[in-house]
Amino acid sequence: MRTLIIAIIGAASAALAAAQARPLPGPDLDEIYQRLLPQIEKIPMFDHHAHPGFADDPNVDAMAAPPGSSPVRTRDTNPELVMAAQALWGYPYNDLSAEHTQWLIQKKAEVRKQRGNQYFSDILDKLNIEQGVANRAMMADYLDPKRFVWVFFADSFMWPFDNQREASRNGDEQVYIPLQGKMLHRWMAQAGLSRLPPNFSDYLRFVSQTLEENQRKGAIAQKFEVAYFRTTRFSDPTRDQAEAIYQRFVGGGVPSEAEYRTFQDYIFRYLVREGGRLHLPVHIHSAVGIGDYFNLSESNILNLENVLRDPRYQTTTFVMIHGGYPYDRQSIWLAAVKNVYLDTSETELLLYPSEFKKLLKQWLETFPEKVTFGTDCFPYNEALGAEESYWLGVESSRTALAAALAEMISEKEVTEAQALVLAHGYLHDNAVGIYQGKVH
C-alpha cells in the first residue's frame, strides 16, 4: 500500500506540476468538504487502538484510572454525548440529566441482554468499523473474535520484584503497580508457574513463552503503557547486569530505583527484540496520560528515539499509540523510520475536530502512509461508555479528516482522487498492512 500511495502521489504531482501549492484554501473549500465527507463515511475502517468493554468488566485494562482531572471534552458534561446517545440508541432527550441518563443505562442493559456477544459488533456495524483492536488485559467472551483482535499488555514482565518502593511513589502508582503484580501472576498462572523461576534464563523463557502463547490465542501485538509507571528513557544494560539484579531480588528484598530501572531497561529491550522475532508488533502509549502524577517530560515520545532508530530493532514494528500528543509535531518525524507507525487515537477525543484537523493535515502532508486511525474507546463513565467513545472517536476523525483533505485539495497539494487514497490509508489500509493476513 505504501508503494501504491507513493506511486499515485508521484504520478499526480506530475499532473499538478503547473500548480504551485497555495498557502490559503480557495472559496471551494466548503463544497469540497461537503463532497468528501459522505465518501469518507463509506470507507470501512480498521480501529487500531481501543478498549471495548463494559464498565463493570475488570479485564478492560491492565491498570485502573485513579481519581484525576479529565480534559473538558471527555467529561460526562460534554453535550456531544447527547448526540452519541441519540445516534446509537435513539435517546429521546436533549440533555444527560441524572434522571434521563437512567433511560440510557436501562436501554443499554436491555440491548446487552438481547444481543449477547453481538452487542459490540452491532456498534461497529453502526459506525462502519470492519474490525477493531481490543487492547485488554484478557479477551472477553462477549466480543466476537471475527470483529475484535486482541492486543495484550506486556509491561508486567518489568515488575517481578517486591514493588513496595514503586507503589509508594504517589497515589497513582499505588493504584497501578499492584495491578502490574496481578497481571504478572496471571501470566505465571497461564504458564503453570506458582512462583518466579529461580534463574534468569528461565525467567526470559517464561516471558517468551507467554508472548507465543498469547499469539496462539490470537493476539496481533503487545502493548506497553509503561509511561504511566516510569520514565520512557531506556538505557542499554548488558544481560549480565540484568541477571545479577534478578538473582539478587528474585527471592525477596526491595531493589533500589537504579537497580529496578536497569533490570526493566533490559527486559523492555528483550520484549522489543522478541517482537521482531515473533512478528508481534510493539504498541507504546506515547502521549499525555490520565491521573495527577503522569510525568509529561519523562514520557515525551522523543525519549524513545534511541530505541526506534536502533538498527538492531529493524525487524520490530512499532506503533506509537496516540501519536505522542502534545509532541505531535516532533513525533511525525519518527515515522520516517520504516518500521515506525503513528496512531491518532485519544488525540481526536482530547481535541475538538477544528484542532485535530491541523494535526492530521500536517501528518498527512509528511508521512501519510504511516498514519493510522484509532478510537481509544473506553468505558469512561455511564454516559461516556465504550459505545459513546467509539462514536465520538469515529465522528471526530471523519470530520477532521474530511476538513484536512478539503484544505489540501483546495490549496492544490493533492487531487481529490489522491485525497481519497490518503483517506483509505488512514482509516484502514495503513494499519491492516502491518498485520498481513491476520486482519482485514
Residues that bind Zn ion (CB under 5 A): 376
Q: How far apart are CA 160 and CA 180, in angstroms?
A: 9
What is the closest distance, in whole angstroms, from the C-beta atom of residue 108 to Zn ion in the complex?
A: 21
Which CB sits closer to Zn ion, 269 or 285?
285
CB crowding 372-401: b at 16 or more within 10 Å, else e: bbbbbbbbbbbbbbbbbbbbbbbbbbbbbb
Question: Which residue type occupies 22?
Answer: R
Cβ atoms of residues 374 and 49 within 8 Å: yes
Whole-number Cα distances in Å, 152 to 47, 92, 97, 201, 282:
15, 38, 36, 23, 10
Q: What is the DSSP string of 14-39?
A: HHTTT-PPPSS--TTHHHHHHHHHHH
For residue 225, the minimal CB distance to Zn ion (Å) is 8
- State the nearest-atom distance from the C-beta of 22 to Zn ion, in Å: 38
Nearer to Zn ion, 60 or 432 (CB): 60
Shortest reach from residue 392's CB to Zn ion, in Å: 14
Smaller CB distance to Zn ion: residue 166 or 376? 376
Nearer residue to Zn ion within complex by CB, 369 or 376: 376
324 Ramachandran zone, left/alpha/beta (phi>0; psi -120 to 50): left
Helix (H, G, I), strand (E, B) or coil at 282: strand
- Helices in 192-285 by DSSP H: which ranges? 200-216, 239-249, 257-277
Nearer to Zn ion by Cβ, of 243 and 376: the residue is 376
Provide the b/e sequence for 408-438 (b: ≥16 CB within 10 Å).
bbbbebbbeebbbbbbbbbbbbbbbbbbeee
The residue (of 136 and 361) whose beta carbon lies closer to Zn ion is: 136
User: What 3-state DSSP class applies to 80?
Assistant: helix
- Closest residue to bound Zn ion by CB: 376
Q: How far is the CB of 200 from Zn ion (least distance, A)?
A: 31
Q: Measured from the CB atom, is 154 or 419 closer to Zn ion?
A: 154
Burial 48-57 (b: 16+ CB within 10 A, else e): bbbbbbbeeb
- In the complex with Zn ion, which residue's Cβ is closer, 265 or 376? 376
Q: Within the chain, what is the greatest distance between any pair of CA atoms?
A: 72
**Nearest to Zn ion of 274, 376 (CB atom):** 376
| Min separation Cβ 223 and Zn ion, Å | 8
At its nearest, how many Å lie between Zn ion and the CB of residue 120? Answer: 16
Closest CA to 388 of 108, 137, 142, 149: 108
The nearest distance, CB 175 to Zn ion, in angstroms, is: 16
CB of 276 to Zn ion, least distance (A): 23
Question: And the C-alpha cell for 241?
Answer: 547486569
In whole angstroms, give the CA distance from residue 220 to residue 154.
13
CA angle 227, 283, 349 (to 5 degrees): 75
- Shortest Cβ 319–Zn ion spacing (Å): 12
Q: Evaluate whether 294 touches 70 at the Cβ level (below 8 Å).
A: no
Q: Using the CB atoms, write b or e for 277-299: b if 16+ within 10 Å.
A: eebbbbbbbbbbbbbeebbeeeb
In the bound state with Zn ion, the residue whose beta carbon lies nearer, of 25 and 52, is: 52
